[in-house]
Structures are given as structure tokens and as C-alpha cells.
């Protein structure tokens, strides 16, 4: 029986977390030393969790697929991290951050988790500053803030355009300190391929050593998955090349339910696709929308002339530009939430006003800000982003507007977790982007970094002790147990099968095909017929993959194609689940836009009567249809309303 009770403490919302901490069962220091914890992932969530658990005295085993923890995908986050510090005295507080997050998520997130997140946010900044994170500062020496989409206060802390890098280096340094102290053991260049469950509890993982190809067993009293998001199911996304769903997917297949898989965030400001050979997309931070104005030409003639390169964007007169976000959403203008901004761009391009050679791009123009503040001020804020843009596109954004288009960026869906961040498998936790918990159907900018660090530094270290306090009599788990044997054999068999297929088609080819299906039918807008079609196409792709994939190289060596093959096989199965989820959710909310459910002026139309719930999918065996469960969402504090940014 699947139990989807979140188990938030029975207390008024604002007191739940303090009440939880006051009553939470702890493990004494002598016992902590006898307890092993596996943490998969060294991004903000995983590194902060491993470091804190190590600091508390547990025995931690930390895993990442990169050569060093410092390269986890969190490193790429640009814009910033939110916190309800109210340093600007502009009316911010914990409640407002909570409210903005619930509303931004289009009322599909759990109030209790989100409130806790908002209330922890100020502490994160304190800790990061103490670690030496060089956040931006004002001349008086105090911390600076900027504003981000979906909010009307300035609560985002940042370190130029490299906030994720600086925060991750902070977490990595804390982790390194624990590695030196011997409380954390690092397993780098490992691919975690399976979760081992013994008597219903998570007790270990099976990992492939990416250098030697060896299949290894690792045991623990509890397992934490912090393996990031699954945006790479679309092939082209802003995620790192290696980002994957595999640890989460193996958890799903071992009984952890997967929540809201179809909730994907398509980020409005990315560098447009420019060719078939393209391997990834590059984000231009949302913070650019603070000083950049988004527009397309008002007239199709100008669009035509632009495409033929007969005129440049600067030559189009002010009166002939359509600043469509400012036009449609006067209150928030260029700072509407991401889902709204992305759909608005798609709408203009679908109508034929898109620019660039493909017609799938809009302008992001800094000329007003440069005139007002000077190029130097703009460079101080976004210098590295402008440089990055110029390298890729070969255009100078100080002189001509950037061209941008939406791209897959973040996945709100993930493993279902309760208030304690535990999945439906006892002893198996999920934190960071890997879980589904805090962002509902749309994440606000600068909130993923906040969530990852809140989970890792401040939430999990408490909640895991509640579980481990019952494990203090469990001796170290032996990796010779039959469950480990079975799991190792399962992994070895699947690897052999992949290797022995000896087909003709490369893994990348399948990945690209999957990406196209997902983007076309399960991307920025979705409809019944398209989704039905996608189900069939994915089914075919799956069959083709099993019979025709080609993987050169050996098993017992560094073999990137074998690595990718496993991941892509998981992505194909995940794609199927995402489509099913999108089919069943016959409403529009946040990043999930069902064409059948929209207001007359084309905004997302929720259906709270039928869909104010989390959809949590249970694996029912290979080939069988998964079962959809619901966790009903209750909004006792914030009353759901039609989101309006007008």
C-alpha cells in the first residue's frame, strides 16, 4: 500500500518546523559513529548534506560521476539565491517568500514544506558568508540584492553571474574539510546504477567505477539521493551533459513513487538552437530581465527584412517594436515568472514574429539600460554573461540586442518525499532537484539553490536522525547479503545486454530522437492527440533501442558510450511516464500547459476541483502500466486564485 501522507507536524504552519525540531528524536554522538549514510550526488544538495552529516559524526559515503565533487551541475547556476532577509527593507519576510513560492508554483506545492523552506532561507546566507562565499556587496560593505522573476521585492543574493559556482565551492570546501577529517569518504567517477533494498529498507547502492568498469557494492543504514534533475530527457537542455535520472529511476523501480514527472521548467532566456550538431543549450540568466527588455517587431515586414539581414534590430523604430511582456503584463512586465515569459515568446514566434535565422528567437535588448546606467554598470552586473553570449553567437550584446528563446532548464517533478524528505521506501531520502517537494508546477528563479542548500544543510540532518534513531542497534550492513548479489547480477546482466546488442545505431542518435519527441509533444504546450502520439513513438523508440543500439569499447574500462547507453535507456522509460502524467493532468498549471485548458486570453487555466493534488506514480513492473496515486493538497493559508501578473 502506498502511503502518501506527508506527515507534517500538527501545529500552526509557522510553528511546524520548530515544533518538529523540538520533538525530533536524535542520535547520540557515540551511536552516530556506528551509522553509515550513502549520499549520491555532490551538487549543492548532496555536498551540503554529506558535509553536515559528516560534521555531525555519521560515517558518510559520498558519490559523484565527475572526477571531483566541485564539478556537479550546480556549479553552472548563474543568477542567484533567494532568502527572506529583508536587508532592503522593501517589505520582504518569510511569509511573503512562502506566498510567492506557492503562488509561483501555481498552487501545486505543499504548504508545510514551502513554509519551512522560506523560514530556513536566511540561515543559508549566514552560513555561506561564514564559509567565505564572496557574494556581491554594496560600497558600505553590506550584502547586495537583485530582483528576480515572479516577485516584487529584491531578495536575491548573488555572486556576479556565478552564484552556483561560488555556493558549490563553499559546499565543496565544507565537504573537503570532512573528507580530511575522515568522516566522509569520497567515491568519485562512480555511476550509481541501482539501489539495494533489504527487508523493505534502503541499505545500499550498486555503482560502476567509471575508470575500471568494476561493479561495486556499497552499504549503509540509509541512502540519500541528491542526483539532480532530469531535463536531459529532452536531449537539448541547459543541464550538464552528464546530468541523468538514473539513481532516481532505479529508486522508482524499487518502489519509490515518482511525483509530477511532467512538470518541466522551460526557461525563457536561453541562446537559441542553431544547428543539428548542437549538443546543449546555454542559459542566459534570468537576472538579465532586470535590465533587458524583451521585444519582437510589430510588423511582419520588419521580421522579413531582419531575417534577410537587410536591416539590423537597432534600425527598427521604437514605435514599431512590440514589448509584448510589458504590453500583456503591465504590473510585472519583463519580470513575469518563467512559464509565462516562455509561453509568451512561443506565442509571438508561432504567430510569425520570431527573429533570427530560424524564426524561433526574440530580442533581449539592453540599450535602454546602457543609456541610463552606462555600459560599465551593465558590464559589472552581467559582464561574464555578455562574454559567454558573444563567444557562442559571435555578436556583441553591448551593441546589438541578444537573441533568446526558451529551453528546458529544470524539472519540478521528482521522487515523492514526505515532510522528512523520505521517499516511500523507508530509509531512502531524496533532496535537491531530485525530489519534487517545493516548487509545485513552476519554480521561481533563484529558489533551486535555496532549496538544495536548505535540504542539505538544515533539513535532512534533523529528519534523518528520526529514522536512524531506530537503527542504532543495526550492525554495519554486509555487502555479502543475497540482496546485494541479486542487485549486482541485475546490473551486470543489463550492461551485458546493452553491450551485446551489437546494433548499428549510436546512443546519441536515440537520445536525439527522444528529445525531439519530448520537445514536440511534451514541451512548452501539450494536447491530448500529441501526447497519445508521443506514447506510441516512445514505445517504438524503446523497442528500436533494445535491438539496435551500438556500443563500442569494453566493459572493464573507461567507456563513455556504455555510460550514456544506460542513461538514455532510463530516459526513454522516463519519457513514457512524463507523457502519461501530462495526459492525465487535464488542466494547465505552471509549466504544464494543456492547450485544452486555457483562459480566453491564452493564460494557463487550472482546474482545482479535480487536480489540486500531487500525482505520484508507482512502478508496476516492466511492461505493465504504472499506477497513479494522489496526494491531495490543502491550502489552509494561501487561497488559490488565478495567477495574475497583470
Partner 1 sequence: MIFTLKIWRQKNASDKGGLVTYKAEDISPDSSFFEMLDQLNQQLIAKGEDPVAFDHDCREGICGTCSLYINGRPHGPLKGTTTCQLHMRSFRNGETIYVEPWRCGAFPVIKDLIVDRSAFDTIIQAGGYVSVNSGGIPDANTIPVPKLDADTAFDAAACIGCGACVASCPNASAMLFVGAKVSHLALLPQGRVEAEHRVQKMVATMDSLGFGNCSNTYACEAECPKEIAVTNIARMNREFLAAKIFAEKEKQISFTL
Ligand X SMILES: Cc1cc2nc3c(=O)[nH]c(=O)nc-3n(C[C@H](O)[C@H](O)[C@H](O)COP(=O)(O)OP(=O)(O)OC[C@H]3O[C@@H](n4cnc5c(N)ncnc54)[C@H](O)[C@@H]3O)c2cc1C
Supply the residues annotated as catalytic. Answer: 338
Place of cell 550538431: 277
Closest CA to 388 of 231, 235, 280, 242: 280
Out of 458, 510, 545, 619, point to the residue binding partner 1 (CB under 8 A).
Answer: 458
Between 362 and 549, CB nearer to partner 1: 549
Out of 11, 24, 26, 76, point to the residue binding partner 1 (CB under 8 A).
Answer: 76
Out of 40, 169, 340, 517, point to the residue binding partner 1 (CB under 8 A).
Answer: 169
Work out what residue 432 binds among ligand X, partner 1, none; the CB cut-off runs from 5 to 8 Å by kind: ligand X
Strand duo 156-157 + 81-82: pairing: antiparallel
Residue number with the smallest Cβ distance to ligand X: 43
Between 127 and 316, CB nearer to partner 1: 127
Work out what residue 97 binds among ligand X, partner 1, none; the CB cut-off runs from 5 to 8 Å by kind: none
Joined grid coordinates for residue 618: 508507482
Work out what residue 493 binds among partner 1, ligand X, none; the CB cut-off runs from 5 to 8 Å by kind: none
Q: Do 449 and 167 meet the contact criterion of CB atoms below 8 Å apart?
A: yes
Q: Do 407 and 238 meet the contact criterion of CB atoms below 8 Å apart?
A: yes
Helix, strand or coil for residue 357? Answer: coil
Q: How far is CA 142 from CA 76, 133, 137, 139, in A?
A: 25, 13, 5, 7
Work out what residue 135 binds among partner 1, ligand X, none; the CB cut-off runs from 5 to 8 Å by kind: partner 1
Between 65 and 419, CB nearer to ligand X: 65
* Binding residues among 402-441 for partner 1 as defined by CB under 8 A: none
Place of cell 556576479: 160
What CA–CA distance (Å, rounded) separates 26 from 465?
5
- Cβ at position 312, least distance to partner 1 in Å: 19
- Cβ at position 445, least distance to partner 1 in Å: 18
Out of 16, 101, 162, 269, point to the residue binding partner 1 (CB under 8 A).
Answer: 162
Work out what residue 200 binds among partner 1, ligand X, none; the CB cut-off runs from 5 to 8 Å by kind: none
Out of 13, 39, 75, 97, point to the residue binding partner 1 (CB under 8 A).
Answer: 75
Q: Would you list the DSSP string of 201-248?
A: EEEEEEEEETTT--EEEEE-SEEEE-----GGGGSSSSS-TT--SHHH
- Cβ at position 82, least distance to ligand X in Å: 7
* Binding residues among 480-519 for partner 1 as defined by CB under 8 A: 504, 506, 508-509
Between 128 and 604, CB nearer to partner 1: 128
Joined grid coordinates for residue 413: 517533478
What CA–CA distance (Å, rounded) separates 41 from 62?
7
What CA–CA distance (Å, rounded) separates 356 from 395?
12
Closest CA to 404 of 309, 284, 493, 492: 284
Torsion angle defined by CA atoms of residues 402, 405, 407 and 410, in that order, rounded to the nearest 10 degrees: 70
* Binding residues among 282-321 for partner 1 as defined by CB under 8 A: 282
Q: How far is CA 556 from CA 64, 246, 485, 566, in A?
A: 19, 20, 19, 15
Work out what residue 278 binds among ligand X, partner 1, none; the CB cut-off runs from 5 to 8 Å by kind: partner 1
Strand intervals (E) in 458-565: none
Our finding on whether 240 is near partner 1 (CB under 8 A) is yes
- Cβ at position 560, least distance to partner 1 in Å: 6
- Cβ at position 9, least distance to ligand X in Å: 25
Q: Do 207 and 218 meet the contact criterion of CB atoms below 8 Å apart?
A: yes
What CA–CA distance (Å, rounded) separates 49 from 183?
13
- Cβ at position 121, least distance to partner 1 in Å: 12
Burial 565-580 (b: 16+ CB within 10 A, else e): bbbbbbbbbbbbbbbb
Between 127 and 266, CB nearer to partner 1: 127
Work out what residue 126 binds among ligand X, partner 1, none; the CB cut-off runs from 5 to 8 Å by kind: partner 1
Work out what residue 185 binds among ligand X, partner 1, none; the CB cut-off runs from 5 to 8 Å by kind: none
Our finding on whether 21 is near partner 1 (CB under 8 A) is no
- Which of left, alpha, beta for 442 (phi over 0: left; psi -120 to 50: alpha)? beta
What CA–CA distance (Å, rounded) separates 469 from 473?
9
- Cβ at position 133, least distance to partner 1 in Å: 8
Between 202 and 460, CB nearer to partner 1: 460
* Binding residues among 529-568 for partner 1 as defined by CB under 8 A: 550, 552-553, 557-558, 560-561
Return residues touching ligand X (CB under 6 A).
40-46, 63-66, 72-74, 76-81, 163-164, 190-192, 226-229, 238-239, 243-244, 246-247, 283, 409-410, 432-434, 446-449, 452
Between 219 and 463, CB nearer to partner 1: 463
491: which residues sit within 8 A by CB, 6+ positions away? 193, 194, 206, 208, 215
Work out what residue 227 binds among ligand X, partner 1, none; the CB cut-off runs from 5 to 8 Å by kind: ligand X
Work out what residue 44 binds among partner 1, ligand X, none; the CB cut-off runs from 5 to 8 Å by kind: ligand X
Contact region with partner 1 (CB under 8 A), list: 320-328, 391-399, 518-526, 601-609 = 391-399
Out of 16, 48, 119, 442, point to the residue binding partner 1 (CB under 8 A).
Answer: 48
Contact region with partner 1 (CB under 8 A), list: 21-29, 141-149, 288-296, 577-585 = 141-149
Our finding on whether 33 is near partner 1 (CB under 8 A) is no
Joined grid coordinates for residue 59: 560515517
**Phi, psi (degrees; rounded to nearest 5) at 29:** -55, -35
Work out what residue 79 binds among ligand X, partner 1, none; the CB cut-off runs from 5 to 8 Å by kind: ligand X
What CA–CA distance (Å, rounded) separates 586 from 289?
32
Closest CA to 364 of 319, 332, 392, 326: 326
* Binding residues among 170-229 for partner 1 as defined by CB under 8 A: 172-174, 176-177, 179-180, 186, 188, 211
Our finding on whether 89 is near partner 1 (CB under 8 A) is no
Between 284 and 349, CB nearer to ligand X: 284
- Cβ at position 281, least distance to partner 1 in Å: 9
Our finding on whether 352 is near partner 1 (CB under 8 A) is no
Out of 20, 41, 44, 55, point to the residue binding partner 1 (CB under 8 A).
Answer: 55
Between 407 and 522, CB nearer to ligand X: 407
Strand duo 321-322 + 215-219: pairing: unpaired
What is the chain's percent helix, strand, coil content, to nearest 5? Answer: 40, 15, 40
Label residue 198 exposed, middle or buried (CB < 10 Å: 0-12, 13-18, 19+).
middle
Between 535 and 574, CB nearer to ligand X: 574
Amino acid at each position: 500500500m502506498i502511503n502518501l501522507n506527508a506527515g507534517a507536524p500538527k501545529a500552526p504552519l509557522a510553528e511546524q518546523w520548530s515544533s518538529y525540531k523540538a520533538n525530533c528524536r536524535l542520535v547520540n554522538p557515540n551511536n552516530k559513529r556506528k551509522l553509515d549514510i550513502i549520499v549520491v550526488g555532490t551538487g549543492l544538495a548532496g555536498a551540503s548534506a554529506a558535509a553536515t552529516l559528516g560534521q555531525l559524526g555519521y560515517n558518510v559515503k559520498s558519490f559523484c560521476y565527475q572526477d571531483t565533487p566541485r564539478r556537479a551541475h550546480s556549479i553552472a547556476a548563474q543568477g542567484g539565491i533567494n532568502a527572506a532577509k529583508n536587508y532592503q527593507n522593501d517589505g520582504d519576510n518569510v511569509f511573503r517568500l512562502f506566498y510567492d513560492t506557492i503562488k509561483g508554483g501555481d498552487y501545486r506545492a505543499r504548504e508545510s514544506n514551502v513554509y519551512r523552506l522560506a523560514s530556513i532561507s536566511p540561515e543559508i546566507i549566514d552560513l555561506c558568508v561564514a564559509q567565505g562565499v564572496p557574494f556581491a556587496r554594496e560600497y558600505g560593505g553590506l550584502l547586495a540584492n537583485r530582483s528576480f522573476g515572479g516577485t516584487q521585492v529584491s531578495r536575491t543574493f548573488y555572486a556576479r553571474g556565478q552564484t552556483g559556482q561560488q555556493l558549490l565551492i563553499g559546499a565543496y570546501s565544507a565537504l573537503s574539510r570532512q573528507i580530511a577529517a575522515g568522516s566522509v569518504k569520497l567515491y568519485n567517477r562512480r555511476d550509481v546504477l541501482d539501489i539495494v533494498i533489504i527487508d523493505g529498507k534502503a541499505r545500499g547502492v550498486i555503482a560502476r567505477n567509471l575508470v575500471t568498469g568494476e561493479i561495486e557494492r556499497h552499504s549503509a543504514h540509509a541512502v540519500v539521493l541528491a542526483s539532480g534533475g532530469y531535463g536531459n530527457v529532452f536531449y537539448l537542455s541547459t543541464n550538464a551533459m552528464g546530468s541523468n535520472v538514473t539513481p532516481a529511476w532505479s529508486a522508482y523501480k524499487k518502489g519509490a513513487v515518482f511525483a509530477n514527472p511532467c512538470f518541466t521548467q522551460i526557461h525563457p532566456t536561453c541562446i537559441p538552437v542553431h544547428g543539428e550538431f548542437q549538443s546543449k543549450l546555454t542559459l542566459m540568466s534570468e537576472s538579465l530581465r532586470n535590465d533587458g527588455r524583451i521585444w519582437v517587431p510589430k510588423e511582419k515586414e520588419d521580421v522579413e527584412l531582419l531575417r534577410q539581414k537587410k536591416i539590423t534590430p537597432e534600425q527598427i523604430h521604437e514605435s514599431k517594436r512590440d514589448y509584448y511582456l510589458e504590453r500583456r503584463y503591465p504590473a510585472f512586465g519583463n519580470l513575469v515568472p518563467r512559464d509565462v515569459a516562455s509561453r509568451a515568446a512561443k506565442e509571438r514566434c508561432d504567430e510569425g514574429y520570431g527573429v533570427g535565422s530560424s524564426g524561433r528567437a526574440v530580442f533581449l535588448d539592453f540599450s535602454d539600460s546602457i543609456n541610463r546606467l552606462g555600459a560599465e554598470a551593465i558590464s559589472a552586473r552581467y559582464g561574464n554573461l555578455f562574454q559567454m553570449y558573444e563567444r557562442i553567437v559571435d555578436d556583441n550584446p553591448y551593441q546589438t540586442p541578444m537573441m533568446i528563446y526558451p529551453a528546458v532548464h529544470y524539472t519540478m517533478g521528482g521522487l515523492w518525499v514526505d515532510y522528512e524528505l523520505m521517499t516511500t521506501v523507508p530509509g531512502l531520502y531524496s533532496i535537491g532537484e531530485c525530489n519534487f517537494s517545493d516548487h509545485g508546477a513552476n519554480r521561481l528563479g533563484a529558489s533551486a539553490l535555496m532549496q538544495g542548500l536548505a535540504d542539505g544543510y538544515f533539513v535532512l540532518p534533523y529528519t534523518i536522525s528520526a529514522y536512524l534513531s531506530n537503527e542504532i542497534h543495526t550492525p554495519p550492513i554486509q555487502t555479502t547479503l543475497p540482496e546485494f548479489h541479486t542487485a549486482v547480477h541485475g546490473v551486470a546482466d543489463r550492461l551485458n545486454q546493452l553491450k551485446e546488442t551489437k546494433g548499428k545505431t549510436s546512443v546519441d542518435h536515440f537520445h536525439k530522437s527522444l528529445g525531439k519527441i519530448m520537445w514536440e509533444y511534451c514541451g512548452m504546450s501539450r494536447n491530448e492527440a500529441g501526447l497519445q502520439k508521443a506514447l506510441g513513438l516512445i514505445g517504438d523508440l524503446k523497442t528500436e533501442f533494445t535491438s539496435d543500439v551500438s556500443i563500442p569499447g569494453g566493459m572493464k574500462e573507461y567507456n563513455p558510450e556504455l555510460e550514456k547507453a544506460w542513461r538514455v535507456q532510463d530516459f526513454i522509460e522516463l519519457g513514457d511516464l512524463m507523457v502519461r502524467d501530462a495526459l492525465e493532468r487535464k488542466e494547465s498549471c505552471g509549466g504544464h500547459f494543456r492547450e485544452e485548458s486555457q483562459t480566453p486570453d491564452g493564460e494557463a487555466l487550472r482546474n482545482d476541483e479535480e487536480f489540486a493534488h500531487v500525482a505520484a506514480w508507482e512502478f508496476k513492473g516492466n511492461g505493465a502500466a504504472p499506477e497513479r496515486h494522489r496526494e491531495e493538497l490543502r491550502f489552509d493559508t494561501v487561497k488559490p486564485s488565478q495567477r495574475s501578473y497583470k
